[in-house]
Amino acid sequence: MFKLGQTKMRRLNPDVLGHRLLLGNLMPEELEALMLQWEQPHYRAAQILHSYYAERRLDPMEMATLPLALRNRCAEMLVTMPLRLVTKTRSSDSTVKMLFELLDGSRIESVLIPREMHDGRSRRTLCISTQAGCPLGCVFCATASLKLRRNLETAEIIGQILAAEQVLGERITNVVFMGMGEPLLNYEAVARAIRLMTWGKQPLVALRRITVSTAGIVPAIDQLAADNLRVKLALSLHATTDTLRRQLMPIARRWSLDELLAAMERYYRTTGQPVTYEYILFDGLNDTDADIRRLLKIARRVPAKVNVIPFHPIDFTHPTGLAAELRPTSSTRIAEFVAALRHHGIPTMVRTSSGIEIAAACGQLALANAL
């Protein structure tokens, strides 16, 4: 496991659980060991996991394949839903922001982004959080105003999918690790969550529909490649020079663009997965012709696409310094920027501002209704 040379980030206090265990924390082999400890056949673990993930049976008493005595014990010993919905807000474009409270009172947000596809299918993407708050301090992101409270447990990450499906009454088809927090600073819990989401013949979410977004934690990118989880990897780039990126994203002071792009190249070489570069456009800062030329060079290193993202105001967090000076690039310049990338053969998408009216768009998650 990679080391970042920092104090291990706090997790859920075990005292909150008492004698109980979070079911969503247990890998199949760990649940098998628990069944043997309970003097149950090891195959009961697979039955429990199938009921929980494939059938979405969150009440152990409804796990019909289990004998009654085991259902009772699971109900007593296992916590199957470690989140409680506090508020749900829906925007006019059908984006839904959900504020959840965790067992220790920490709060996080998840966002549903529905889309109608060209072939008539519906895609329901859930943007999930991996930390309560965030330690990175990116100047354009509202979550930075919260600082970091703690890392989420694996069960709390997966629980956002299960809870959202309960709240919305529909299945989640895609998951993006782009909510509150930096996923690769909670690597172990995120990796375990991915394995559990994709477990079994009827996975909670298909592997090809999972994207992990990172601000650029180089050792963790290499670990993700070594572990061969093969998720889609998206890098929050947002600048084509080290000087500007360090002003926008303090984490960039630790790893240069050269080091970061080399890690992205290693990820592609190891997994065969094309990568994505996310690029928020700021008026006069990173939207020049010179930026286009540098971004083209970056995007050509390995098969890649670029997601251009309009800057979403975070005035409700009362920003200061550079954060208060940031302005969105005009729609005309965005179109020119995108057209130039496409003209040179780079697949480029413009991320829509879904949920902006409810502070649910990219970079706006900050428990706004609690500020």
pLDDT, position 3: 53
Calpha distance 280→307 (Å, rounded): 8
Q: Rg (Cα) of the chain, in Å, rounded?
A: 21
pLDDT, position 59: 98
Question: Does pTM top 0.85 for this prediction?
Answer: yes
- Number of H-type helices and E-type strands within the chain: 11, 14
Each domain of the chain, given as residue ranges in start order, spans 14-79, 83-370
pLDDT, position 111: 95
pLDDT, position 354: 58
Domain 14-79 has CATH 1.10.150.530: yes
pLDDT, position 323: 77
- 3-state class of 32 per DSSP? helix
Torsions phi, psi for 182 (to 5 deg): -100, 110
pLDDT tens digits, 113-150: 998 766 667 889 999 999 999 999 999 987 777 889 99
User: What is the per-residue burial (b if ≥16 Cβ within 10 Å, else e) of 112-132?
Assistant: bbbeeeeeeeeebbbbbbbbb
CATH class of 83-370: alpha beta
Contact call for residues 23 and 79 (beta carbons, < 8 A): yes
Residues in the chain with pLDDT < 70?
Answer: 1-8, 117-120, 316-319, 353-371
Q: Is 165 a catalytic residue?
A: no
Other residues' Cβ atoms within 10 Å of the Cβ of residue 142: 26
CA distances for 282 relative to 88, 90, 192, 239, angstroms: 30, 27, 36, 10
Calpha distance 316→364 (Å, rounded): 9
Contact call for residues 355 and 110 (beta carbons, < 8 A): no
Contacts of 344 (CB under 8 A, 6+ apart): 296
pLDDT, position 321: 78
pLDDT, position 281: 96
Q: Is 134 a catalytic residue?
A: no
Q: How many CA atoms lie within 13 A of 114 on its CB side?
A: 17
Catalytic residue among 32, 74, 109, 134: 109
Catalytic residue among 74, 127, 138, 362: 362
**Can you list the alpha helix ranges (DSSP code H) found in the chain?**
28-37, 44-49, 68-77, 154-168, 187-197, 218-226, 242-248, 257-271, 289-299, 322-325, 331-343
